């Protein structure tokens, strides 16, 4: 293609490899100047980001969710023909996919907009995009999960063959929603088990939340010893994996490190859609404690545990849990 990827008007005059040598920017002189000065107009930002994804020069530090330059080094020209597209006015699948790639979040409105198109047409377009630029993989897999579900199962399994040790977490939601129950979590856990660096394990394992599977609780029990510092990720995964009071009681009785995960998970049961400073996924999917015992009985177990573990983290969590049973049980 010899047309500038940003303005879609002028001929390509510059090939810039700065952000991705495998898929460089192909733009005209004017758009190159605006790109390097963080001063693209909204439609130019939209066009370029739809093809390249959120690269360094197109990062959300420099542009708003509507493509408005927030830190331009030169003046930004405005014009009606340069406006960011409006979702309700999009009528073709290609532009809708562009829109879904460019926006920071895949909203319910975006997912609903895909219903006007045949799933086979959508999947074919996803496949075209990823063959051109694999840097779009994370968002395309997310869209496959949210828009196509099990229909995209064979495609996701084919894409899984391209996984790497650094990028396999990109597949988590798609593995969870596009494959039969149990298959996706098994594949993901197999990759987790290959990680030998504790910091990476804690970073990647949080993606187990997408599976909402009790298999994740079993995995936690077998692998929590692989890290020295128990981050909040473990509690997030636990609460998203059919976490119950019998599991909490067993983990508390076993002591550290599982007891710390149990306390975090119980606290996370109190998260609602209005809770601040929590995982976005959890705010969108509030969980409740399953199979609870009598509140007085549960309080006694918590107090008994905290009597032998005086860490501030423990005291804070126990107090919070005991004060928030209504939200934890979602009563």
Instruction: Dump pLDDT digits (tens) for 316-329.
Output: 999 999 999 999 99
Is the predicted pLDDT of residue 278 greater than 70, yes or no? Answer: yes
Per the prediction, the chain carries an average pLDDT of 96
pLDDT on residue 15: 97
Overall average pLDDT of the 22-37 stretch: 97
The string of pLDDT tens digits covering residues 134-180 is 999 999 999 999 999 999 999 999 999 999 988 999 999 999 999 99
The string of pLDDT tens digits covering residues 103-138 is 999 999 999 999 999 999 999 999 999 999 999 999
Write down the pTM of the prediction.
0.93
Q: How far apart are CA 268 and CA 235, in angstroms?
A: 7
User: Phi, psi (5° rounding) for residue 11?
Assistant: -75, 155
pLDDT category at 65 given cuts 50, 70, 90 is: very high
Overall average pLDDT of the 88-104 stretch: 97
* Beta strand residue intervals within 14-122, DSSP E: 14-16, 25-27
Is the predicted pLDDT of residue 79 greater than 80, yes or no? Answer: no
SS3 at position 97: helix
Nearest Cα to Cα of residue 95 among 131, 43, 56 = 43
Contact 137, 129 (CB under 8 A): no
| Rounded alpha-carbon distances, angstroms, from residue 187 to 157, 211, 215, 294 | 10, 11, 12, 38
pLDDT category at 1 given cuts 50, 70, 90 is: low
Q: How far apart are CA 29 and CA 36, in angstroms?
A: 11
Share of the chain above pLDDT 90, in %: 95
Task: Give the helix, strand, coil percentages of the chain, each rounded to 5.
Answer: 60, 5, 35
Is the predicted pLDDT of residue 54 greater than 90, yes or no? Answer: yes
Angle at 64 between CA 14 and CA 53, to 5 degrees: 45
pLDDT on residue 81: 77
Is the predicted pLDDT of residue 191 greater than 90, yes or no? Answer: yes
pLDDT on residue 166: 87
The string of pLDDT tens digits covering residues 279-296 is 999 999 999 999 999 999
Query: How many C-beta neighbours within 10 Å does residue 176 have?
Result: 21
Query: What is the token pair recorded at 130?
Result: 């990823």
| Angle, helices 214-223/198-205, rounded to nearest 10 degrees | 170
Overall average pLDDT of the 30-57 stretch: 97
pLDDT category at 277 given cuts 50, 70, 90 is: confident
End-to-end CA, the chain: 59
Nearest Cα to Cα of residue 119 among 162, 159, 153, 87 = 153
Question: Backbone dihedral region of 38: left (phi > 0), alpha (psi from -120 to 50 degrees) or beta?
Answer: left
The string of pLDDT tens digits covering residues 10-24 is 999 999 999 999 999
Q: What's CA 10's distance to the chain center, in Å?
A: 36
| Burial 93-113, CB ≥16 within 10 A → b, else e | beebbbbbbbbeebeeebeeb
Is the predicted pLDDT of residue 95 greater than 80, yes or no? Answer: yes
Is the predicted pLDDT of residue 78 greater than 80, yes or no? Answer: no
pLDDT on residue 77: 83
């Amino acid at each position: 293609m010899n047309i500038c990827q940003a303005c879609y008007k002028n001929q390509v005059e510059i090939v810039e490899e700065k952000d991705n040598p495998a898929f460089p920017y192909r733009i005209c002189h004017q758009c190159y100047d605006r790109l390097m000065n963080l001063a693209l107009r909204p439609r130019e930002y939209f066009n370029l980001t739809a093809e390249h994804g959120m690269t360094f020069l197109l990062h959300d530090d420099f542009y708003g969710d509507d493509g408005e330059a927030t830190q331009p080094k030169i003046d930004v020209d405005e014009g009606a023909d340069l406006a960011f597209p409006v979702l309700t006015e999009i009528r073709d699948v290609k532009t809708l996919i562009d829109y879904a790639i460019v926006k920071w979040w895949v909203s319910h409105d975006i997912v609903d907009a895909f219903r006007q198109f045949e799933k086979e047409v959508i999947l074919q377009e996803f496949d075209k995009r990823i063959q051109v630029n694999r840097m779009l993989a994370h968002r395309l897999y997310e869209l496959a999960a949210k828009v196509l579900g099990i229909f995209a199962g064979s495609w996701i399994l084919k894409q899984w063959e391209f996984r790497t040790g650094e990028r396999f977490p990109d597949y988590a939601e798609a593995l969870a929603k596009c494959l039969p129950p149990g298959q996706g979590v098994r594949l993901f856990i197999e990759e987790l088990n290959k990680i030998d660096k504790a910091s990476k394990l804690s970073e990647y394992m949080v993606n187990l939340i997408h599976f909402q599977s009790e298999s994740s609780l079993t995995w936690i029990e077998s692998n929590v010893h692989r890290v020295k510092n128990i981050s909040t990720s473990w509690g997030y995964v636990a609460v998203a994996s059919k976490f119950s009071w019998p599991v909490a009681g067993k983990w508390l009785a076993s002591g550290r490190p599982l007891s710390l995960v149990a306390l975090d998970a119980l606290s996370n049961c109190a998260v609602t859609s209005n809770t601040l400073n929590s995982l976005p996924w959890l705010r969108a999917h509030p969980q409740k404690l399953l199979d609870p015992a009598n509140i007085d009985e549960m309080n006694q177990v918590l107090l008994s545990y905290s009597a032998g573990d005086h860490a501030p983290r423990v005291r804070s969590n126990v107090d919070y849990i005991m004060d928030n049973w209504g939200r934890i049980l979602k009563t």
